[in-house]
């Protein structure tokens, strides 16, 4: 395996992700990181994002158009995606109890989970 080197760009990208108020798209992440590192390139962001995900330090949330990335180790939360208007909301209660380390039948070691509920958001449920 390759030893991951410590570079300024990886440091900055990870920091931006941790300080973000919510999940960011790759382009957004790039823009924010460029404030500190103007020459940062697109490819580096994607390559770093892939690395961080493999290390479990970040993960992608894919609901709508582009995937959004968020730092792991942030409050546990899930999403609600409206089937009608397409908007995505954050939910604060979690409908599953799967502590990290749980081993699923077959030998799947669970490190995390993501739940998305689909349906009608308050506005769209009303406007029928």
What residues line the site for DNA (CB under 7 A)?
2-10, 25-27, 37, 39-44, 46-48, 50, 65-67
The answer to whether 23 touches 70, Cβ cutoff 8 Å, is yes
On whether 85 is known to bind a ligand per the annotation, the reply is yes
Backbone angles phi, psi at 3, to 5 degrees: -80, 120
Strands 68-71 and 58-61: antiparallel
In whole angstroms, the minimum distance from the beta carbon of 36 to its own copies comes to 28
Residues 40-59 that bind its own copies (CB under 8 A): 53-54, 56, 59
Task: Tell me the Cα Rg of the chain.
Answer: 17
Binders of its own copies among residues 77 to 106 (CB under 8 A) are 80, 83-84, 89, 91, 93, 95-98, 104-106
The answer to the question of whether 82 is labelled as a binding residue is yes
124 is in an annotated binding site: yes
10 is in the binding site of which of DNA, its own copies, none (Cβ under 5 to 8 A by kind)? DNA
Query: Which of the listed partners (its own copies, DNA, none) does 31 bind, with a CB threshold of 5 to 8 Å by partner kind?
Result: none
Whole-number Å distance between alpha carbons of 120 and 86:
9
Half-sphere exposure of 76 (CA within 13 A, CB side): 13
Q: Which residues are annotated as a binding site for Fe cation?
A: 76, 113
């Amino acid at each position: 395996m390759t030893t991951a080197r410590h570079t300024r760009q990886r440091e900055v990208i990870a920091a931006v992700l941790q300080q973000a108020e919510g999940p960011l798209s790759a382009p957004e992440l790039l823009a924010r990181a460029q404030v500190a590192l103007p020459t940062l390139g697109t490819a580096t962001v994607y390559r770093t994002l892939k690395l961080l995900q493999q290390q479990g330090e970040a993960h992608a949330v894919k609901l709508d158009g582009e995937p959004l990335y968020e730092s792991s180790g942030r409050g546990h939360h899930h999403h609600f995606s409206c089937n009608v208007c397409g908007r995505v909301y954050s939910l604060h209660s979690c409908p599953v109890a799967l502590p990290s380390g749980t081993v699923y039948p077959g030998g799947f070691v669970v490190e995390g989970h993501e739940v998305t509920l689909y349906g009608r958001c308050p506005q769209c449920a009303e406007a029928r």
